[in-house]
Chains A and B, each alone.
Chain A
Amino acid sequence: MQTAQLTWHVRRNAVAYLALLPMAAIVVFAYLGTMAWSIRLSFSSSRLLPRNDFVGFAQYTELFGTSRWLTSLENFAFIAVFFLAICFVLGTLLAIFIDQNVRAEGLFRTAFLYPYAMSMVVTGLMWQWILNPDLGIERTMRDMGFSGFVLDWVVNSNTVLYAVVLATVWHGAGLVMALLLAGLRGIDTDLWKATRIDGIPAWRVYAFIILPILRPMIVTSLVLLSISIVKMYDLIVAMTNGGPGNASEVPAKFIMDNLFERANIGLATAASTTMLVTVLLIIAPVLYSQYLGKKGSSA
């Protein structure tokens, strides 16, 4: 019964499937294929050139004995937690603020969203200049007579990650604002009237009624922000180049350096496979609840 239905379905949409074939082929060969090849290479002893031997988990053992990789992972976790949390809270507050029908709303909206239009390289370079003791705020304040003024975040190993989070939040908060503002504008005004009649304070309406309604927007913005963390490379290269020392190294930079500068394909692919597995482990529950969970509830 089911197979008959399926055949009918395929026949009816044959042209559509035919049109999708090239794209499917690209995904399978170019995307999944190279991914599989990377995973394969992570179990080989490849250095400059890909080799076809098999060394088991040797590259992974070496990887997790490399202090620079472990530092990269710690930095990754730190940036992820603080960037997501601050960006989300700040973006939401900005959206709510603009939704109060403030004057010159267009100006604020543009100003807050503008950073997102900048490339990561420009963002990194700009914040590097602002925070650099030789060029930026510290120099300016000292030239103005505040000789004891210190703002050395980018050149101090203990604070460089705050500087990175600051730059990324500056870049990403506007996106959260724009998405949530669009959601807020879609809320039925009758809902507001009803809560006002009931005398519920505005903050409670936002926290318990509005935000839960905005769940799809929130999930979208969190997914977009998470992707930007995993692929974070250009910002770090432009802003700190991983320094001082290894203090702001991130996994993507570790992979690129080993792949292209250090002729260490085996170690680089082991690191990228580790990242892939980590990301899959994190998004698997989300995907599960999004797709399988819904199916269960509708049945």
Chain B
Amino acid sequence: MFHKTKSLAHTAMALTIGAGAAHAQEAEVIHFWTSGGESAAISVIAEAFEERGGNWVDNAIAGGSAARGAAINRIIGGDPSTAALFNTSQQYHEIIGEGLLNDIDGVANRNDWDNVLPAPIVDAIKVDGKYYAAPVNIHMPLWLWYSSDALQEAGIESPPETMEEFFAALDALQEAGITPLALGGQRWQENLLFSAMMTNVGGHDLWTSVYADKDEAAINSPEFREVIETFIRLKQYVDDASPGRNWNDTTAMLISDEAGFQFMGDWAKGEFKQADQEIGVDYGCLPGLRADSPYVLGGDVFVFPRTDDPAQIEAQTMLVETITAPDVQVSFNNLKGSIPIRSDVDATALDECAALGMEILSDPSRQAPDASQMMEEYVYGSVQDIITELWNTDMSVDEAVSRFDSALRN
């Protein structure tokens, strides 16, 4: 009872609060998967956990930052949940540094995560030689989607494979009176477009040397300038009503064939599926615009707050095993639109785009970390401020370079 009052004080938003360590294998999980497809996906994990004899206490909080804020407040307040959902990033690295998370080395080593998981994911969840988070899925945020009908109407025979072909297609679409590039003018979507230019124009090396190494020479290199110039060049292909538009309204422009292309994560597939569109017939997905385009690995992970209660630690271990089990991975990711974290699963159940993603992922040289894994949150925030200003004002390339330089190397 005392536990209950205390947790209510810590998080006013948490409505379903378990009484801490009342039973063995009771796991209270804070997550932010509240939309239709998302909650269907997490219930796969919940059911699998209960089949193994656990008791899943669901604590869904709408909005990623609200859910993470609640989880962190509970951790600091000394009454943490059993597990909490974060993005595969540096969001939880500071709480690891403060010693507030339990490591899950036992399960990780038993299942040979060092070799089963892609290297960028390992880098994001392994800190000082210990595993602190269990990955659930891999989202690739930089897919290029296209409307087959719009391309056909503009006389484009096959989808572009290089940046030159991409720009030729954009011109053809513009001439045909179709919005060439669908973009929702919100900070994160503009940032996503810039990232796509980094990976497709600059390539793997520039992506990591600018964002991870924060290398002065790379930031001031002609290659990075070319990325900025290409980004600026895209402005003319976006419609006037773009600012403020949501990503799903933007995807709807492709579904109704009003626009040709959109850069968006694999979650956009859900929108096409809901509108009864068929891959390869009504729309298509391109992983990149160069043969060796990096496959950026975003996604979600569960972290396990520090506790000395053996029953809770047991529940945490069981959660990790459930989340990463091959059968759970396949059915979860099919509903979520992402791809499994491990390559040793049955890929036949996956759709065309996901299967293509799995295939690219099997080549380690094309695996790349997401930008949020290479920078602390506040640095990434200032980078996004520069990108949105670059897109919406007449900032010169020189100024952009010097702003990136001071934001990244500060």
Contacts and interface: CB of A to CB of B under 8 A. Distances in A.
Interface of A: 47-49, 66-68, 128, 132-134, 152, 154-155, 157, 240-247, 257-258, 260-264, 267
Contact of A47 (B186, B376, B388, B391): B376
B381 A244 contact: no
Contacts of A157: 392-393
Interface stretch (B1-9, B91-99, B297-305): B91-99
Contacts of B186: 241, 243
A224 to B, nearest CB: 28
B242 interface: yes
B381 to A, nearest CB: 4
Given A155-B243, A262-B381, A264-B377, A49 B69 contact: no
Nearest to A256: B65
Contacts of B72: 48-49
A242 B190 CA distance: 14
Contacts of B242: 155
B244 A240 contact: yes
B281 interface: no
A288 B391 CA distance: 46
Nearest to B75: A49
Given A66-B382, A243-B186, A154 B392 contact: no
A224 B382 CA distance: 34
A258 to B, nearest CB: 7
Contacts of B98: 49
Given A155-B240, A243-B243, A264 B381 contact: yes
Contact of B392 (A246, A261, A262): A246
B79 interface: no
Nearest to A246: B389
Interface residues of B, number: 31
Which A-B residue pairs are the 9 nearest by beta carbons? A245-B392, A244-B243, A262-B381, A134-B241, A264-B378, A155-B243, A48-B94, A263-B377, A133-B241
B77 to A, nearest CB: 12
A243 B388 contact: yes
B95 A49 contact: yes
Contacts of A128: 244
Chain A contact residues: helix, strand, loop or mixed? loop
A244 B95 contact: no
Contacts of B65: 260-261
A261 B64 CA distance: 9
Interface in B164-210: 185-187
A246 B69 CA distance: 25
Contact of B388 (A155, A245, A261): A245
Contacts of B403: 67
Interface in B77-118: 91, 94-95, 98
B186 to A, nearest CB: 6
Contacts of B217: none
B389 A152 contact: no
Nearest to A160: B243
Contacts of A133: 240-241
Given A49-B94, A243-B187, A267-B378, A154 B385 contact: no
Nearest to B242: A155
Contacts of A240: 243-244
B349 interface: no
Nearest to B384: A262
B175 to A, nearest CB: 20
Interface in B50-89: 65-66, 69, 72, 76
Interface string B346-386: 00000000000000000000000000000011101110010
A47 B381 CA distance: 12
